[in-house]
Amino acid sequence: MRQMLFATSSVTALLIGANFAVAAPNGDAISVRVLLRGSVQATDAASAAEARRILAIGYDEASEAQASPVLAAVAARRGPTKANPAPPPPSTPIKTPTSTPTTPPVVVTPPPPASTPAIIGIIDSGIDLDHPEYAGRVLTGKCFGGTSTICNVTGASTGGDPGINSSAQPTHGTHVAGIAAGTTYGVAKDALLLPVKVCDTDSLNCPGDIPAGILWASQNGAKIINVSLGGSTLSASALAATQKAVTNGALMVVAAGNGGTDKVATGFLAGAALKPAVVGAMIVVGAVDSSNKIASFSQTPGATCETSSGATYCMRDYFVVAPGVNIKSSVGGGGYANKSGTSMATPYASGVAAKIKGSWSYLTPYQVADIIFTTAKDLGTPGADNIYGRGAVDVVAAMAPVGGSSVIAPTSGTTIATAACRRGVLTSHATGAFAAALRNSELLQAVTILDTYGRNFSADLTGGLNGSSALVAVDGATVRRDR
CATH number where 355 lies = 3.40.50.200
Residues 374 and 332 reside in one and the same domain: yes
pLDDT of residue 376: 98
Radius of gyration of the chain (CA): 25
Report if residue 368 sits inside a domain.
yes
Residues 464 and 367 reside in one and the same domain: no
Report if residue 132 sits inside a domain.
yes
Decide which of 345, 380, 398 is a domain's last residue: 398
Residues 193 and 222 reside in one and the same domain: yes
The answer to whether 124 is a known catalytic residue is yes
The per-residue b/e assignment along 338-364, b for 16 or more CB within 10 angstroms, e otherwise, is ebbbbbbbbbbbbbbbbbbbbbbeebb
Report if residue 38 sits inside a domain.
no
Domain count, the chain: 2
Report if residue 49 sits inside a domain.
no
Report if residue 476 sits inside a domain.
yes
Question: Which helix (H) or strand (E) covers residue 75, if one does?
Answer: helix 69-78
* Active-site position among 125, 343, 350, 406: 343
pLDDT of residue 404: 63
Decide which of 353, 373, 398 is a domain's last residue: 398
Which residues is 251 bridged to in the sheet?
224
The answer to whether 317 is a known catalytic residue is no
Contacts of 188 (CB under 8 A, 6+ apart): 117, 118, 120, 180, 181, 350, 351, 352, 354, 355, 358
Residues 203 and 324 reside in one and the same domain: yes
Distance of CA 88 to the CA centre of its chain: 16
Residues 345 and 451 reside in one and the same domain: no
Query: Cβ(366)–Cβ(117) under 8 Å?
Result: no
Report if residue 42 sits inside a domain.
no
Report if residue 25 sits inside a domain.
no
Report if residue 244 sits inside a domain.
yes
pLDDT of residue 303: 95
* Active-site position among 10, 128, 131, 172: 172
Residues 258 and 171 reside in one and the same domain: yes
Residues 160 and 232 reside in one and the same domain: yes
The answer to whether 131 is a known catalytic residue is no
Decide which of 398, 429, 459 is a domain's last residue: 398
Mean pLDDT by 10 residues, the chain (483 residues): 28 32 41 34 43 29 32 37 41 37 53 76 97 95 96 96 92 98 97 97 92 98 96 92 98 95 85 96 98 96 92 97 98 96 98 96 96 97 97 95 67 39 39 54 67 83 47 32 26
Residues 292 and 378 reside in one and the same domain: yes
Residues 268 and 320 reside in one and the same domain: yes
Residues 310 and 168 reside in one and the same domain: yes
Residues 470 and 383 reside in one and the same domain: no
Residues 359 and 406 reside in one and the same domain: no
Q: Is the pTM of this model over 0.75?
A: no
Residue 124 main-chain phi, psi, to 5 deg: -165, -145
Q: Note down the domain range covering 176.
A: 119-398
